[in-house]
Structure 1
Amino acid sequence: MSGKVYVIHDNPSWLPPFRAAFDAEGVPLEEWLLTEGAIDLSSEPPEGVFWSRLSASAHTRDRALSKDYGRAVLRWLSAWGRTVINGADVLELEVSKVAQHVALQHAGIEVARTVAVLGTDGIVERAAEFGAPFISKHNQGGKGLGVRRWDSVDEFAAWVDGPDFEPSPDGITLLQELLVAKAPFITRAEFVAGSLVYAVRVDTSAGSFELCPAEACAIPGADGVEPEPMFRRRDDVDPELVDRYLAFLAAEGIGIAGIEFIETRDGRTVTYDVNTNTNYNPDVEATAPRSGPREIARWLGSLLPQEVVGARG
């Protein structure tokens, strides 16, 4: 095999840290931006390693069809026997929280009690059966968009029937138990190539569900004196949980991912999100013993012939 690493994506604004990492590692990188394009299905793809960073939130950037075109591109690459990291099957996990939920549950990892409802007919009745408080979220989400807390079914019913109701791009709304953390944070564990790179403690005391680590985020510190970082490294994640995550990722063929979990007031550790186009917080990266983007560049570069990588070194 020869060639380069091709990153398949729908959002150029997320790419600068990766461009820098690949350049630092001397690994040739070419971007395939799937906002338009065409495939000659009789043609052979170029040689190389293909890395999918297609996103569940593409619809928020007016690129809703990127995932559908991405399905076609990834199947085409696979049919030609190309090395694809986070390929077509992984994309289905990225764009469906139902798919994530059932895969995690099958792997013996605890997940939140959840009901998936198509459309709005009967959704209020299902919410009443479910019981308040609860949260609603989009099956195809990303960045915590579409997640709302409900303390009464009546409030939820008024929202569903009102002008502010926001349907999931795929029409599936999830009703999910409200998980109460024992401390106001969640944890995101970052994995590359079958290894934990580091875990991140994400402060949730501000009450937001939009926790994308690529965004510049800070919350007021004590007495408003200094801002506290929203993201900071965490070094005490249970090794047994890490092992379960590694087994899950291997079983699902996921090479790169961030997995988020919450430790609840009643003593549970509940996993609720698998992000296969993970971003990395620059403040955490600055102090981490290993860099997420650099680990990705090294790993994908190792899948290329050494003469290709060496030519850039």
Structure 2
Amino acid sequence: MSELAILYEHPAWFEPLFAALDRRGIGYDKLRPDGHFDPADGRFPTPVVLNRIAMSSFLRSGEHPIFHAMALLDHWRRAGARIINGPDVLAIDSSKARQLSLIASLGLAIPATRVVHRADDVAAAAETIGFPLVVKANIGGSGAGIMRFDSLGELRAVVEAGDLPVSVDGVLLVQDYVPARGGAITRVETLDRAFLYAIDVAGGGAFDLCPADACVAGSGISMAAVQPAPELVDAAERIARAVNLDVGGIEVMIDDRDGVARFYDINALSNFVAQPLNVLGWDPHERLIDYLVERIEETR
């Protein structure tokens, strides 16, 4: 039996990880979050399971695996498996509202936000923030489910037409539109709750900012390796520790109006950049594999 399994659904994102594992001669099983499981069955597939379920999976299938995978990972953890980015992490990953609450509880700035579950409450929530603003799905992915509004009348027309974004959990965020300084956001990647690397992602008007090259081909979105200010690195590591994030990205932008760093997203799906040697000069998959090997050794 292999000692490592990768639970994933995207057809292409993890080929670089699989190739790196093959180069290192590390055995692993590829698992898909389909089929069924018996909650009375106390077995688990491998001692270590790496969760790679993406929130954007609902874009690829109406019968997405997000909530099924959360229950499955919890079941395997209860049976004794070591889950990398386990069900508690997945639960935070699947709720932007919970992410923002956690970030704010650490004393860090976030965009002004109101959380609603009824379309009838959106306009009233917007009036407490002002315009421009965005309405976004609580469960998004690759920028999905985001609309910008510049006036109350524009927003009310969309509400009345029933054309607001739709979140698969029925929750929406009404959020201040933050003008990102230089038109860029910074994504700080962490591994074992510590800084791994960071990239600036520019273009797209703060929408659809996906850090994977494969997501943005032809989009005009650019990426560059950066070294964030020490206070941003420290903040990202604090967030990662609070989430108990094994591997994942923290996204932040500098508000051009006041220079405040506003953290707005925690992403437990780090598929890294598609051409890391060109973007970073090194391959973060090797560090991830080192981490996985350590977790495997701990289970022996």
TM-score (norm 1): 0.87
Structural mapping, 1:121-136, within 5 Å: 121-136=120-135
Structural mapping, 1:208-247, within 5 Å: 209-214=207-212, 215-218=215-218, 230-235=222-227, 237-247=228-238
Per mean C-alpha deviation after superposition, the further-off stretch among 188-197 and 151-160 is 188-197
Q: What residue number does 1:49 align with?
A: 48
User: Helix, strand or coil: the match of 1:90?
Assistant: helix
**How many Å separate the matches in 2 of 1:243 and 1:130?**
29
**How many Å separate the matches in 2 of 1:93 and 1:64?**
20
- Tell me which amino acid in the other structure corresponds to 1:96: S
Deviation, 1:96, is: 0.3
40 and 176 in structure 1: CA distance in 2 versus 1, 3 angstrom threshold: closer
Among all aligned residue pairs of Structure 1 and Structure 2, give the percentage whose two residues are the same amino acid. 27
Deviation readout 1:284-312 (Å, 9 max, x if unpaired): 44342442222212210222239x9xxxx
Q: What residue number does 2:94 align with?
A: 95
Q: What residue number does 1:252 align with?
A: 243
129 and 241 in structure 1: CA distance in 2 versus 1, 3 angstrom threshold: closer
Give yes or no for contact 2:4–2:27 (8 Å, CA) kept in 1: yes
Structural mapping, 1:1-313, within 5 Å: 3-39=2-38, 41-162=40-161, 164-204=163-203, 206-207=204-205, 209-214=207-212, 215-218=215-218, 230-235=222-227, 237-265=228-256, 266-305=258-297
Deviation, 1:218, is: 4.8
- Tell me which amino acid in the other structure corresponds to 1:238: A
RMSD of aligned residue pairs (Cα, Å): 2.1
Deviation, 1:185, is: 0.8
Unaligned runs of 5+ in 2: none
User: Helix, strand or coil: the match of 2:128?
Assistant: helix
Task: Flag as ranges the 4+ runs of structure 1 deviating above 4 A.
Answer: none
Per mean C-alpha deviation after superposition, the further-off stretch among 23-32 and 150-159 is 23-32
**How many Å separate the matches in 2 of 1:171 and 1:122?**
13
TM-score (norm 2): 0.91
User: Helix, strand or coil: the match of 1:102?
Assistant: helix
Deviation, 1:147, is: 1.2
Per mean C-alpha deviation after superposition, the further-off stretch among 260-269 and 4-13 is 4-13
Deviation readout 1:210-267 (Å, 9 max, x if unpaired): 12222243566xxxxxxxx6111112x0112212221221232111001111012111
User: Helix, strand or coil: the match of 1:56?
Assistant: coil
